[in-house]
Amino acid sequence: MDEVVSALIDLALVEDVGLGDVTSEYFVPADRMARAMVLGKTDGILAGTEIAKEVFQRVDEETGVNILLDDGSHIAPGAIVMEVRGAARSLLTAERTALNFLQRLSGVATKTAEFVEAVRGTGAVILDTRKTTPGWRFLQKAAVVSGGGQNHRMGLYDRAMVKDNHLVAEGGLEALQAGIKELKEENPGVQVELEVDRLEQMEAFLTLEGVDYILLDNMDNETLAKAVAMRSENGPLLEASGGVNLETVRGIAETGVKYISVGALTHSAIALDLSLEFVNVD
């Protein structure tokens, strides 16, 4: 369990439980045992099962959790995702927090799967972005992978991405090349991506050494296709970004770009409808 994720779970439980679950404490007998199922209520892609399990067991380490469907599984209404057994009070206390994680991460996986299906057969790869819920980045990016997408950079530290705002401060191609060279020497594992919004700009950037990716920002499909034609066989990989939705993504993919980054995977995903249903309460 990653330290950031572990702390997020603790924060979520403190936020919900506070000084105690007064409903369960006063209306559910302490010795009442229970069995419950997490059920799917709509079609979608599952993500976050291990996090949900951790929530149940962090509330009560005696709670038994049996994950029946793995992350990345397609679920339909009535699908049994997991079974939990233990003290009824503990299951009720953990229920909402566990479902909050599971529903929101499954929503990200489901949204990603829709984009992946939309570009199937084109060779294009769907990427996420840094437009994640603060504190949830590792979880949401894992959910993107469960949905069939791939991760872009995790943060500011694992890929240099020189955008228009950065270029305002630099001194032309010579300074840009010097920055790339210095970065590569001091951080050999870090890749470099440059953002362009004009073909003339791309033509200039193709003369630079050490560029791993070029981001084609808010270009129409005709311009994207021209950019793809400009790239040599061993040139920087091309990523399209901006104006990407389920109606436009197929056309973008058909221009020949390798990657398409989609902020909506994480910032606009709708929580998948899941519920916890109690059965055979003793």
Annotated active-site residue in 41, 163, 231, 250: 163
| Range of the structural domain that residue 130 is part of | 116-267
Q: In whole angstroms, what is the distance from residue 258 CA to residue 262 CA?
A: 13
Both 274 and 263 in one domain: the answer is: no
Which CATH number do you get for residue 199? 3.20.20.70
44-45 and 74-75 as β-strands: parallel, antiparallel, unpaired? antiparallel
Does the pTM surpass 0.75? The reply is: yes
**Token pair 């950079």 is at which residue?**
153
Both 154 and 25 in one domain: the answer is: no
**97-114 pLDDT per residue, tens:** 999 999 999 999 999 999
Q: Of the candidates 242, 272, 280, which has an alpha carbon nearest to the alpha carbon of residue 84?
A: 280
Question: What pLDDT does 2 receive?
Answer: 87
Give me the number of domains the chain comprises: 2
Instruction: Respond yes or no: is residue 41 known to be catalytic.
Output: no
Tell me the sheet residues that pair with 127: 150, 261
Both 72 and 152 in one domain: the answer is: no
Both 132 and 260 in one domain: the answer is: yes
Both 160 and 246 in one domain: the answer is: yes
Both 95 and 137 in one domain: the answer is: no
Both 224 and 153 in one domain: the answer is: yes
The count of residues in the chain is 282
Both 180 and 125 in one domain: the answer is: yes
Annotated active-site residue in 217, 231, 258, 273: 217
Instruction: Respond yes or no: is residue 203 known to be catalytic.
Output: no
Both 167 and 104 in one domain: the answer is: no
Both 66 and 184 in one domain: the answer is: no
Annotated active-site residue in 85, 130, 131, 250: 131
CB 270 within 8 A of CB 107: yes
173-199 mean pLDDT: 94
Torsion (CA) 222, 225, 227, 232 in degrees, nearest 10:
-160
Annotated active-site residue in 2, 96, 158, 164: 96
Instruction: Respond yes or no: is residue 217 known to be catalytic.
Output: yes
R_g of the chain, CA atoms, integer Å: 23
Annotated active-site residue in 50, 54, 71, 195: 195
Question: For residue 56, with 0-12 CB atoms within 10 Å meaning exposed, 13-18 middle and 19 or more buried, which class applies?
Answer: buried
**56-92 pLDDT per residue, tens:** 999 999 999 999 999 999 999 999 999 999 999 999 9
Q: Is the pLDDT of residue 282 over 60?
A: no
Q: In whole angstroms, what is the distance from residue 252 CA to residue 265 CA?
A: 17
Q: Count Cβ atoms below 10 Å from residue 77 Cβ, excluding itself.
A: 11
Both 67 and 200 in one domain: the answer is: no
Q: Is the pLDDT of residue 27 over 60?
A: yes
191-203 mean pLDDT: 95
Both 90 and 193 in one domain: the answer is: no
Which CATH number do you get for residue 75? 3.90.1170.20
Instruction: Respond yes or no: is residue 195 known to be catalytic.
Output: yes
Q: Is the pLDDT of residue 264 over 60?
A: yes
Backbone angles phi, psi at 73, to 5 degrees: -75, 145
Nearby residues of 186 by Cβ (< 8 Å), 6 or more positions away: none
